[in-house]
């Protein structure tokens, strides 16, 4: 069975990822409009009716903006925890309860042949989760929006072949930037976001032979650049004597432009 990964959008203004095989797929988060999702999926010849559900990591609008229309127009099932589902509902969101599929932390569930587990991460939302999606012995882990990498999250991250991990901010840009002090502190906190050095140091320390693809994700518009995220990773690797040479393959996911499709299983 094929296992393809495609980023439709990644960053603090909207996150949405597609994981699929030849006939079916799932979305992780829908932080962009339904129209953009449809347009970006069309580029890779994936029709909306082959999407079997959307997995939701947490309530922040850069992850949930498009969900209401996906549910209304496409009757798309929403897979998340009861707590996150409750946090998404507001007096203004019209989400039919029929679309909700409750999942439990660290308990496997299946959608269209994919084996999936959600794991908890620390972030400033009522609850935030990451996902590991497996098929035919290969696994993809999505860990964006986390202030620190706790042991549980690490256990999923370290058993993945393709890892989508946050590299949100450059520490110096955040320090020098115009954000108010409270916001800078929030971003840096254990319940905020991972900075370039944090992510790079973690990866350099834990690099293993299963990990064939690293996708740096959820870059801040104001406090990071693609080049800085990439340079920090390469510099940290070289300081630790790690030579990459294309294995793992490192990609920085773009904010507004979909990525290439990464085929984990041809």
Of all residues in the shown chain, the one whose CB is closest to Zn ion is 60
166 counts as binding Zn ion under rule CB under 5 A: no
Q: Which is nearer to Zn ion, 182 or 243 (CB)?
A: 182
Type and span of the H or E element at 128: strand 128-135
60 lines the binding site for Zn ion (CB under 5 A): yes
Q: By C-beta, is 38 or 60 nearer to Zn ion?
A: 60
62 or 170: whose CB is closer to Zn ion? 62
Nearer to Zn ion by Cβ, of 68 and 145: the residue is: 145
29 binds Zn ion (CB under 5 A): no
DSSP letters along 186-237, please? HHHSTTS--BHHHHHHHHHHH--TT--EEEEE---TTT--HHHHHHHHHHHH
Residue 145 is a binding residue for Zn ion (CB under 5 A): yes
**Among 264, 11, 266, which residue's Cα sits nearest to residue 133?**
264
- Segment contacting Zn ion by CB under 5 A, of 106-114, 140-148, 205-213, 223-231: 140-148
Nearest-approach distance from CB 53 to Zn ion, in angstroms: 20
Judged by CB under 5 A, the chain residues 172 through 201 that form the site for Zn ion are none
Smallest gap from Cβ 26 to Zn ion, in A, equals 19
Report the C-alpha gap between 264 and 229 in whole angstroms. Answer: 23
Spatial distance between the Cα atoms of 25 and 51, rounded to a whole number of angstroms: 5
Nearer Cβ to Zn ion (145/170): 145
- β pairing state of 3-9 and 262-265: antiparallel
Residue 224's φ and ψ, nearest 5 degrees, are: -160, 165
- How many other CB atoms sit within 10 Å of the CB of residue 221? 11
Spatial contact of 88 and 67, defined as CB atoms under 8 Å apart: yes
| Least distance CB 18 / Zn ion (angstroms) | 17
Minimum CB separation of residue 221 from Zn ion in Å reads 12
Note whether 62 binds Zn ion by CB under 5 A. yes
Positions touching Zn ion (CB under 5 A) are 60, 62, 145
């Amino acid at each position: 069975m094929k296992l393809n990964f495609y980023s439709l959008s990644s960053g603090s203004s909207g996150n949405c990822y597609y994981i699929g095989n030849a006939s079916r797929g799932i979305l992780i988060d829908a932080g962009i409009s339904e129209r953009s999702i449809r347009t970006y999926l069309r580029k890779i010849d994936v029709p909306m009716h082959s999407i079997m559900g959307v997995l939701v990591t947490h309530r922040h609008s850069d992850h949930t903006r498009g969900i209401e229309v996906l549910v209304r127009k496409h009757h798309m099932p929403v897979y998340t925890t009861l707590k996150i589902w409750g946090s998404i509902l507001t007096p203004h969101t019209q989400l039919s309860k029929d679309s909700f599929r409750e999942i439990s932390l660290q308990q496997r569930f299946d959608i269209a042949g994919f084996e999936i587990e959600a794991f908890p991460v620390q972030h400033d939302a009522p609850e935030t989760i990451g996902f590991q999606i497996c098929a035919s012995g290969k696994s993809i882990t999505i860990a964006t929006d986390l202030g620190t990498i706790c042991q549980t999250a690490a256990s999923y991250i370290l058993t993945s072949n393709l890892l989508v991990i946050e590299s949100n901010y450059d520490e110096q840009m955040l320090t020098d930037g115009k954000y108010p002090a409270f916001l800078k502190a929030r971003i840096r906190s254990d319940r905020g976001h991972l900075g370039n050095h944090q992510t790079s140091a973690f990866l350099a320390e834990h690099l293993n032979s299963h990990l064939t693809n690293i996708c740096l994700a959820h870059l801040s518009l104001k406090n990071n650049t693609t080049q800085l995220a990439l340079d920090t990773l390469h510099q940290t690797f070289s300081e630790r004597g790690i030579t990459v040479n294309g294995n793992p393959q490192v990609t920085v996911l773009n904010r507004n432009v979909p990525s290439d499709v990464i085929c984990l299983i041809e």
